[in-house]
Amino acid sequence: MASKKEATIILFDVGENTEVPSGKGEKSFFDRSKECVSKIIQKKIFAKPFDEIALILMGSDETDNELNKSFNDYENIVEKVHLQLPSWDMVRKLDELTTTDFASDWVDGLLVAINFAKVHTQAKKFHNIRILVVTNFVSDVNDNNLDVIIATINESKVELLAITDCVEHTELNTCGFSQIPFKNETQEKNQKLFSEVIQQVNGHMCHIDLAENQLLTFEKKKMRPTPWNSRLTIGSQMKIDISAYVSIQEEKFLAPFKAECANPNTATKMVTEFSINHQPIEKPDAEDVIKTYMYGSTPVAVADDDDEEKSEQCLSCLGFSKKEFVLKEYFSGSGCHVVLPRKGFPNSAVMFENLVAAMKQSDYLMIARKVYRRGLRPILVALLPNILDDVPYFVMIQLAFANDISHFTFPKLRTKKNEPTEEQEKVIKELVDAMDLMDAVDDDSGLTEAFATETSLNPVNQHLCRSVAYRALHPTEPLPNIDPELVAMIDIPPKIKEASKDLVKQVEELFPLEIVEHKIKKVFGKNDPIEEETIDEEMSVDTSHVKSIIAIGTATPAEDFGILLKKGERFGNLAEQIQTIIYDLMFRPSVMQREKILECIMMYREQSKIHGPFNYNSWIKELKNVIVQRNRLELWEDLIVKESFGLIMDNESALSTVSIEESKDFYAISKENLQGDNEIDDLL
């Protein structure tokens, strides 16, 4: 297999000739070029960490190179960094460089770089070898060895590149030295000589302005797609060899960070601690530990016989279904694949083409069982047939299991209470049309779509790379704010801003915002109004024993509920606990503790308004059935009806779908429906 590594030898000019100003700013060519070289190394670290880089300085106040040791005629050239993997130490060495009082000679420097490439790349395999010259071509040079340079570069197939500030790019993607007046003889000579070299070796030149723009962003190296080869089996007779390629997947830009000690001389130690409900315990015996998976924040135990099935790699058809019966909400996973017939299997290609054509014509899709490799758990996938440019293929998307699907009931967006007027609807429709991203860009690129996935970079990854680079170079300084050019990447396009400016003002006028203060009018009785602030004071607790509370107890259940909720416990788990406590307090003891029950119901009801009223409304209906079955009508009247602890209405919580009329009807109990005592332990 051919090597994909690249070797880049940077010939960097640090002579006195680079101190001249460059560009529109006040920076010198040396400062700008040093930043460019630094960004090149940083991009290698993030995108191509296995490529190798070498750094050679010309115009240096020292001399250290192989040619000078042999011929004593290549002075002020230093082989600063030999070929090695890009590292932050290399970037730090570059930042320490300053200009010298010596002039540089790019011809001698190029000879040293060519010899360096010849000597140091023989023992290694590289896919490509580049020499990057960074200079402004204003110092005097010796042109005696120009023919040797051209012949050696063509013979060794080394790619020659140059970054300078005296070239110009044309519309035909060509580049040449700028034809500006007032050039001295040295500049004319340099540019003529280097132009001849570039033409003879098919090299490339780049203006430093363009290089700076291209080095602003970090892009991951594009890899050749690797297929997942398997066999699609339909029944016991039909077997089709296929290859699946990743079409869409979640981008993983940087590898996970490794934990290291701040002191480089101290090794990092990983410590495992054991706890139950956040309480530390001693290390248990191996036979007392079972494997679990986290379902959200809930651990789910897995028996040994349910553990990883030793299934073989496969893609087996389970059946076919009409597309209309497999809803998009059943799709899961983090991406999709494109399935094609495997190369080199003509019989499979014929069967594959006929299968796709028949399924597409009948509007069917295939549901299959997929095992990526032996030992992994099987997953369900849907294979959707498609034909593009006479090429048949399947789109393979993972399907969710029944346990992975949760059904939520959401309130209607449009109700009688918030029905928009015709004028409001018209303005919103016009605003949506004005904010169309498909025609939001007016520039010379020829593209009109804003934030197109094919051309847009992830600003989060860009900011992450810049932050990592800044932390590596400045370990003790705080991280800077996000760069303006990254903010501009996600800013509203100017065309949309201008088109929607007047419409946004109309929306502000037609949809005025009002501050609504929600206050709890009652807690225990109709004659005892208590404001929100009063409840906060009454519910305030001593935090000295907060850490010891791991579950809701019967002593102070309402207080425990509030504390555990503040500690971050899942509201669903706490709701189940408080329901059990309320049942116990109402039906188990010989003496009913009315005040404690009211505190529990009040706390549960008020928090349900915030976290979602669905569980509470379902539970209060169950409680009503239990009270009716036990013929305890006095409990219903005293605890629920009197204190208005019934269903949470839509005017109390925006997440509720219960109207005021439904809530009033809920309080009524028909006496003919009262039944005798029944066992309800299954509800407790």
Class of domain 422-510: mainly alpha
Q: How far apart are CA 363 and CA 120, in angstroms?
A: 61
Task: Provide, rounded to the nearest whole percent, the portion of the chain with pLDDT above 70.
Answer: 87
CA distances from 168 to 317, 463, 575 (A): 60, 31, 70
H-helix or E-strand containing 121?
Answer: none
Reported confidence tier of residue 286, pLDDT bands at 50, 70, 90: confident
Q: Which of 214, 213, 95, 88 is nearest to 468 (CA)?
A: 88
**Judging by DSSP bridges, how do beta strands 391-399 and 331-341 pair with one another?**
antiparallel
> What mean pLDDT do residues 187-207 have?
87
> What mean pLDDT do residues 19-30 have?
84
Between residues 408 and 196, the one the model is more confident about: 196
Between residues 259 and 437, the one the model is more confident about: 437
**CATH for the stretch 6-214:** 3.40.50.410
> Tell me: the pLDDT tens digits for 230-281?
999 999 889 999 999 998 887 777 777 777 666 767 777 788 888 877 788 8
> What mean pLDDT do residues 415-441 have?
87
Burial of 101 (0-12, 13-18, 19+ CB in 10 A): exposed
C-beta of residue 77 within 8 angstroms of C-beta of residue 31: no
**CATH for the stretch 222-408:** 2.40.290.10
- Average pLDDT of the chain to the nearest whole number: 83
> What mean pLDDT do residues 48-61 have?
92
Residue 679 has pLDDT above 50, yes or no: no
* CATH 1.10.1600.10 location in the chain: 422-510
> Tell me: the pLDDT tens digits for 521-561?
444 444 444 444 433 433 444 444 445 677 888 888 888 88
* CATH 3.40.50.410 location in the chain: 6-214
CA distances from 548 to 190, 278, 552 (A): 79, 9, 11
Residue 671 has pLDDT above 60, yes or no: no
Between residues 156 and 299, the one the model is more confident about: 156
Which tokens sit at 174? 């060509």
> Tell me: the pLDDT tens digits for 580-637?
888 888 877 656 788 888 889 999 999 988 888 888 988 998 888 888 888 888 888 8
Residue 642 phi/psi, 5° resolution? -60, -35
CA distances from 498 to 431, 449, 494, 495, 503 (A): 12, 16, 6, 5, 10
Residue 4 has pLDDT above 80, yes or no: no
* CATH 2.40.290.10 location in the chain: 222-408
Q: How far apart are CA 378 and CA 259, in angstroms?
A: 33
**CATH for the stretch 532-673:** 1.25.40.240
Q: How many residues does the chain have?
A: 684
C-beta of residue 239 within 8 angstroms of C-beta of residue 233: yes
Chain centre distance of CA 653: 33
pLDDT at 176 (0 to 100)? 67
**Judging by DSSP bridges, how do beta strands 128-134 and 159-164 pair with one another?**
parallel
> What mean pLDDT do residues 70-87 have?
89
Chain centre distance of CA 51: 26
Please report where in the chains the tokens 């500049």 appear, as a residue.
Answer: 187
**The dihedral sign for the CA sequence 454, 460, 462, 464:** negative
CA distances from 477 to 35, 279, 474, 486, 563 (A): 19, 37, 6, 21, 38
**Judging by DSSP bridges, how do beta strands 279-281 and 379-388 pair with one another?**
unpaired
Q: Name beta bridge partners: 28.
A: 21
* CATH 1.25.40.240 location in the chain: 532-673
Q: Is the pTM of this model over 0.75?
A: no
Which tokens sit at 237? 């007779």
Q: Which of 547, 515, 534, 535 is nearest to 605 (CA)?
A: 535
Q: Burial code of 49-87, b = ≥16 C-beta within 10 A, e = fewer?
A: eebbbbbbbbbbeeeebebbeeeeebebbbbbbebeebb
